[in-house]
Amino acid sequence: MATSASAQLSKVVKRQYLELPQGDKVQAMYIWIDGTGDGLRCKTRTLDSEPKSVEELPEWNFDGSSTYQSEGSNSDMYLIPSAMFRDPFRKDPNKLVLCEVVKYNRRPAETNHRVTCRKVMQMVEGQNPWFGMEQEYTILGTDGHPFGWPSNGFPGPQGPYYCGVGADKAYGRDVVEAHYRACLYAGVKICGTNAEVMPNKWNTFQVGPCEGIDMGDHLWVARFILHRVCEDFGVVASFDPKPIPGNWNGAGCHTNFSTKEMREEGGLKYIEECIEKLSKRHNYHIRAYDPKGGLDNARRLTGRHETSSIHEFSAGVANRGASIRIPRSVGQEKKGYFEDRRPSANCDPYAVTEALIRTCLLDEEGDEPVDY
């Protein structure tokens, strides 16, 4: 399996430089979503002191013509700091800064879904919407071959790999452990991890519960940290929803959702009401659940390999082949949350959580979102 040339460089040599004192200066790594809708970019600037809140961070700019976000004749785009985390790579007092992107005229870039997500979250903040997202991914070599798979063949069929233990069942655990600890250090609300059904696919990490806009912020930063960890190991993290064709599970980003009413006694009634609303707006959600308007998910949502069909809406208790799953414990306790299993691994969590709020809490109907 091919690994990157950078991974062969001595990390011991690098460490002696990272241990040098930096005085009162702080390195802030600005992170943003590029024009593809699922790619991330970053660059670093020096601050004179450690910022105590995101409001203290300055705006910045970048060349949008190099990130699929503008033309070269008018390429300046602006980075608006939106969320700040500790930097697990450079360590304190350095920061990771997640940014919104706006154009020269201060209008949101096409892939800046945070703006509208934040707006609808503010409209329903009294209902305390909680989310938890289960991010699946696949570790690949730089040649695109799955990490740990035979170079000229396939591993044994699915069965022994889910939550597996042992060198012949769990591939790439070093990456998973490093990512988990780095997220905890950064302040990302990561709450668990496990190996998945396909060998080398980790259902990997679960982020949440997060309220409102925090869900998107924390998942995007968790993804960024994963990319950086994989960079150090010389491998690639793929969020492709169906990285390996054939009889292998795809990769999703199952989204758990609840409101204050759903979590209280008798909350199952409100869960069922939401599911009824979702059943009438399936096409709208499919378009919102991957960056290509459903084209990526069409390869995954086939009705096989623990997925529902992209063409039909379904719901059930403890049914992993349904669009919406009500956990068995929720059905028994008559309160809690439901799981939307349709979002793809490369979804934009801002778009996913916004869509759920629009349909379930703002009672929108039809195939187009309302402009508030």
Task: Provide the pLDDT confidence category of residue 202 given band limits of 50, 70 and 90.
Answer: very low
Per-residue tokens: 18? 């990272």
Name the phi and psi angles at 275, rounded to 5: -65, -40
On the question of pLDDT at 323 being above 60, the answer is yes
**6 closest CA partner among 233, 236, 237:** 233
Q: Across the strands, what pairs with 76?
A: 63
| Stretch 220-241: mean pLDDT | 96
Which SS3 state, helix, strand or coil, does residue 99 take?
A: strand
pLDDT band at 3 (very low <50, low <70, confident <90, very high): confident
Please report the pLDDT score of residue 287 as a whole number.
Answer: 97
**pLDDT at position 318:** 86
Tell me the residue type at 232.
D
Q: What is the pLDDT of residue 303?
A: 86
* Residue 349 token pair: 């969590």
Per-residue confidence (pLDDT) for residue 92, from 0 to 100: 98
What percent of the chain is modeled with pLDDT above 70? 93
Mean of pLDDT over the chain: 92
The pLDDT of residue 183: 98
Pairing of strands 60-63, 76-86: antiparallel
End-to-end CA distance of the chain: 50
Mean pLDDT check: name the lowest of 138-152, 180-194, 226-240: 138-152
203 vs 193: CA distance, rounded Å: 7
Query: Is residue 143 over pLDDT 60?
Result: yes
pLDDT at position 44 over 70: yes
Handedness of CA 96, 97, 98, 99 (dihedral sign): negative
Residue owning tokens 């916004």: 354
Give the pLDDT score at 200. Answer: 47
Cβ–Cβ under 8 Å, residues 335 and 263? yes
Query: How far apart are the C-alpha atoms of 361 and 242, rounded to whole Å?
Result: 31
CA-based nearest residue to 241, from 296, 293, 204: 296
> If you average pLDDT over residues 79-106, what whole number do you get?
97
- Region for 246 from its dihedrals, namely left if φ exceeds 0, alpha if ψ lies in -120 to 50, beta otherwise: left
pLDDT at 156 over 60: no
User: For tokens 């990997």, what's the residue?
Assistant: 204
pLDDT of 320: 82
d(CA 298, CA 309): 9
Q: Is 106 left (phi over 0), alpha (psi -120 to 50) or beta?
A: left
> What's residue 248's pLDDT?
75
Q: What is the mean pLDDT of residues 213-234?
A: 97
Average pLDDT of the segment spanning 29-51: 98
pTM of structure: 0.94
Q: Mean per-residue pLDDT for 16-41?
A: 97
Q: What is the mean pLDDT of residues 151-157?
A: 64
- The mean per-residue pLDDT over the stretch 333-352 comes to 97
DSSP H or E run through 46: strand 40-47
For tokens 């960056």, the residue is 291
Q: How far is CA 366 from CA 280, 355, 369, 370, in A?
A: 8, 12, 8, 9
Which tokens hold the place of 131?
Answer: 């989310």
- Assess contact for 75 and 102: CB atoms under 8 A: no
Q: What is the CA radius of gyration of the chain?
A: 21
pLDDT band with cut points at 50, 70 and 90 for residue 150: low
Encoding tokens for residue 41?
A: 């970019």
| Residue 120 CB contacts under 8 Å (≥ 6 apart), including other chains | 354, 357, 358, 362, 372
